Amino acid sequence: MTDHSNHDWLSTRRDSLLAWWLPIGAMLLAIPFADGPKTAIWVAALAWMGIACLRNAHRCGRVHCRYTGPFLLAMTLPVLAYGAGVLPLGGDGWRWLGLSIGLGVPGIWWLSERMLGRYR
Question: Is pLDDT at 118 greater than 80 in this prediction?
Answer: no
Give the global pTM: 0.89
- 11 vs 34, more confident: 34
Helix-strand-coil percent breakdown of the chain, rounded to 5?
Answer: 80, 0, 20
What pLDDT shows up at residue 6? 66
Question: Is pLDDT at 41 greater than 80 in this prediction?
Answer: yes
SS3 82: helix
- Arithmetic mean of pLDDT, 82-106: 97
